[in-house]
Structure formats: C-alpha cells, structure tokens
Chain A
C-alpha cells in the first residue's frame, strides 16, 4: 500500500537523551514535513524539505534536527536542547506546488 509510515508509534525518553523519529513514504512525493501537535495548539511546523539534501526551518525548529539523504526518508531528531519535547509528532509529504499534505499516523513522545 502507498502511504507514509512513522515509527515508533509510542516512545519514552529520559531527560537529556536524544531520540530519532522515523518517517518513510512510498508516494514518490518531493516534499516532506514534520509537525508538532500539542493539545489546543493545532499543528506547528518544525522542519520541511522540498528536495533531497536540502531542508528549511519551520516555525519551531529550535531543539530539533533533520536530514534528507533519500527522497523516501525524512527522520527527525529531538535533541536534549528541546525544552518541552513531550508531544505528538506528525510527518507529512506532498507533491510540490499542490498544497495537499498526506499525513502519517504520528509518533507520541513522552519525556520522563
């Protein structure tokens, strides 16, 4: 099936640890995105990438890092510098210029 796969679905981390969330798509989309969702806050853009080996910061990039070595993959690392990392993280992809985003099922990160 074509779609976007995020893993893991649930993740627990101790303070001071980095964690990497995986996002893979087989839709042949050019662009990929990471959003963070908090209760009552909607979805906020962390990073996005329109092409391999290139990415741009979104509205809340501090404490996060990404890479885009392959068209299909866009992993997000939540670093220890992120002050409030507990959240629901959503990955999305799209064809360039269409506007429509296709979302994965999300990864819920809890920092203990």
Chain B
C-alpha cells in the first residue's frame, strides 16, 4: 500500500514569513495529493489539493507543488498569519483509484510566532 512521509513534525516561523512542509509518497500510481488543516479538537479540513496532471496550484497565500518523478509534493504558505497556526496533514490515495480512502502523513504542527 501507499506510504506517506511528512517533514518537519514541528515548524515555527515568524508572522509574515513563509512556511514550507514537504511530503514524499511511495506509489507511483497515486494521482491525487490533498493537504488538510486541523485545528485543536476539530476534524481536518481540506485546504488545497493537486492532481498529477499539473505541477503547481495556488489559492491566495497557499500553494502546492508536485514532482511526480521524485514522488514528492510540498505545501507553501506565504505571509503567514496567526490563524495559520494548526496541524497540517498531507495525504495520497491508499489505493491507486482513491476509493479506498487516503493514507496520511504524520502531520506538521505549524506555529506562527507573533
């Protein structure tokens, strides 16, 4: 099955700086790569995703890049704000088609320092 590695486990940045979280996956057939944000005591929410036919996708201050050859993808948050503090998870399909659920990385605790 799919294996997803995520780094770093904790990331502390100054407010206004950029944050980058990186993930690698093992199954070359995977074609969908979402990122979820989880606030304390709540369920994860999708913030951005990318499919394998594109290399980069942006949505305001967040972007995701994908390198299929190297089997890694990254989340970029620019101009960080206090409300960006949360745990972020990357994921990839547990089975190639996606109907078997997602395999998640272990998460990155992002701390925005005022």
Contact = CB atoms under 8 A, between A and B. Distances in A.
Interface bin, chain A: 20 to 34
A58 B94 CA distance: 9
A2 interface: no
Given A90-B43, A99-B93, A100-B49, A48 B98 contact: no
- Which secondary structure dominates where chain A touches chain B? strand
A101 B106 contact: no
Contact of A97 (B99, B102, B106, B107): B99
A33 B101 contact: yes
Nearest to A101: B102
Q: Report, nearest first, the 7 A-B pairs whose CB atoms are least far apart.
A: A103-B43, A99-B98, A99-B32, A42-B106, A43-B104, A42-B104, A105-B43
Given A6-B43, A45-B103, A103-B43, 18 more contacts: A40-B9, A42-B104, A42-B106, A43-B89, A44-B104, A58-B94, A90-B43, A92-B43, A96-B99, A97-B98, A97-B99, A98-B98, A99-B98, A100-B34, A101-B46, A103-B36, A104-B43, A106-B41
